[in-house]
Chain A
Amino acid sequence: MAEMQHKSGSTDRGKKQSIKQPTKRDFLTTSLVGFSTALAGFILYPLARFLKQPPSAGGNIKRTIAAKIDEVPVDSGKIFRFGNEPGIVLRTPSGELKAFTAVCTHLSCTVQYVPEEAYILCACHNGKYDLNGQVISGPPPRPLEEFKVDVQADDIVVTRA
Chain B
Amino acid sequence: MKQTILEKTRMNKSHKVRNQSLSIVCALVLFTTSATLSYAESDTEIGAHLKDNTCISCHLNEVDDDNTELTEHFLDGIHARRGIFCADCHGGDPTAEDEDDAMDESAGFVGIPEREDIPEFCAKCHADPNYIRGFNPNLPTDQFAKYKISGHGKLLFKNHDSKVAVCTSCHGVHGILPPDDPKSPVYISNIPETCSNCHSDSTYMAGRDLPTDQFDKYQHSVHGIALLENGDRGAPACTGCHGSHDARRPEPSGVANTCAQCHNFIREMFVASPHKAAFDDEDISECEVCHGNHNIQKVTDDMLAGGDESVCAECHDSDSKGWAVAQEMSAHIITLRNKIDSISHIVDSARKIGMDAEDAIYTLKEAKNELVKSRALVHTFVADDVSAVTDVGLEKVKEAGVSGQELLENFDFRKRGFLVSLSVILLLSILLTMKIRAMNGSSNVSE
A and B touching (C-beta < 8 Å)? yes
Interface: B234 (CB within 8 A): yes
Q: Tell me the residues in window 68-98 of chain A with beta carbons closer than 8 Å to chain B beta carbons.
A: 81, 83-86
How far does the Cβ of B221 sit from chain A's closest Cβ, in whole Å?
Answer: 14
How far does the Cβ of A30 sit from chain B's closest Cβ, in whole Å?
Answer: 10
Q: Tell me the residues in window 402-432 of chain B with beta carbons closer than 8 Å to chain A beta carbons.
A: 417, 420-421, 424-425, 427-428, 431-432
Interface: A114 (CB within 8 A): no
How far does the Cβ of B237 sit from chain A's closest Cβ, in whole Å?
Answer: 12
Interface: B17 (CB within 8 A): no
Is A141 within 8 A of B234, CB to CB? yes
Contact with A along B354-396 (1 / 0, CB 8 A): 0000100110011011001100100000000000000000000
- Chain B residue contacts of A105, Cβ below 8 A: 232
Is B234 within 8 A of A140, CB to CB? yes
- Which chain B residue shows the least CB distance to A54? B356
Q: Residues of B with Cβ closer than 8 Å to A?
A: 226, 230, 232-235, 262-266, 268, 358, 361-362, 365-366, 368-369, 372-373, 376, 417, 420-421, 424-425, 427-428, 431-432, 434-435, 438
| A36 to B420 Cα, complex, angstroms | 14
How far does the Cβ of A135 sit from chain B's closest Cβ, in whole Å?
Answer: 6
Q: Which of A81, A124, A140 contacts B372 (CB 8 A)?
A: A124
Q: Residues of A with Cβ closer than 8 Å to B?
A: 24-25, 28-29, 31-32, 35-36, 38-39, 42, 46, 59, 81, 83-86, 105, 107-110, 123-126, 135, 137-142
Q: Known contacts A35-B424, A140-B234: does B373 contact A28 (CB below 8 Å)?
A: no
Is B424 within 8 A of A83, CB to CB? no
Q: Known contacts A35-B427, A38-B424, A138-B262: does B232 contact A109 (CB below 8 Å)?
A: no
- Chain B residue contacts of A137, Cβ below 8 A: 262, 264
Q: Which of B233, B368, B376, B438 contacts A125 (CB 8 A)?
A: B376
Interface-central residue, B233, B262, B376, B420, by most chain A CB under 10 Å: B262
| A39 to B425 Cα, complex, angstroms | 7
Is B373 within 8 A of A109, CB to CB? yes
- Chain A residue contacts of B361, Cβ below 8 A: 84
Is A135 within 8 A of B234, CB to CB? yes
Is A141 within 8 A of B263, CB to CB? no
Q: Which of A81, A83, A126 contacts B265 (CB 8 A)?
A: A126
Is A31 within 8 A of B369, CB to CB? no
Is A110 within 8 A of B358, CB to CB? no
Starting from the known contacts A85-B362, A126-B268, A138-B264, 13 additional A-B residue pairs (CB-CB under 8 Å) come to A32-B428, A32-B431, A39-B425, A42-B420, A46-B417, A59-B358, A84-B358, A84-B362, A84-B365, A85-B365, A123-B373, A125-B376, A126-B265
| A123 to B264 Cα, complex, angstroms | 12
- Chain B residue contacts of A107, Cβ below 8 A: 372
Is B431 within 8 A of A81, CB to CB? no
Is A124 within 8 A of B369, CB to CB? yes
Q: Which of B226, B264, B428, B438 contacts A36 (CB 8 A)?
A: B428
Is A139 within 8 A of B366, CB to CB? no
Is B424 within 8 A of A141, CB to CB? no
Q: Which of A28, A109, A126 contacts B435 (CB 8 A)?
A: A28
| A126 to B269 Cα, complex, angstroms | 11
| A59 to B262 Cα, complex, angstroms | 37
- Chain B residue contacts of A32, Cβ below 8 A: 428, 431-432, 435
| A86 to B425 Cα, complex, angstroms | 46
- Chain B residue contacts of A35, Cβ below 8 A: 424, 427-428, 431
How far does the Cβ of A57 sit from chain B's closest Cβ, in whole Å?
Answer: 13
How far does the Cβ of B440 sit from chain A's closest Cβ, in whole Å?
Answer: 13
| A31 to B417 Cα, complex, angstroms | 21
- Chain A residue contacts of B435, Cβ below 8 A: 28-29, 32
Is B424 within 8 A of A42, CB to CB? yes
How far does the Cβ of A54 sit from chain B's closest Cβ, in whole Å?
Answer: 10
How far does the Cβ of B216 sit from chain A's closest Cβ, in whole Å?
Answer: 22
How far does the Cβ of A10 sit from chain B's closest Cβ, in whole Å?
Answer: 29
- Chain B residue contacts of A140, Cβ below 8 A: 234
Interface-central residue, A85, A109, A137, A140, by most chain B CB under 10 Å: A109
Interface-central residue, A28, A31, A83, A139, by most chain B CB under 10 Å: A139
- Which chain A residue shows the least CB distance to B437? A28
- Which chain B residue shows the least CB distance to A46? B417
| A61 to B176 Cα, complex, angstroms | 46
Is B431 within 8 A of A31, CB to CB? yes
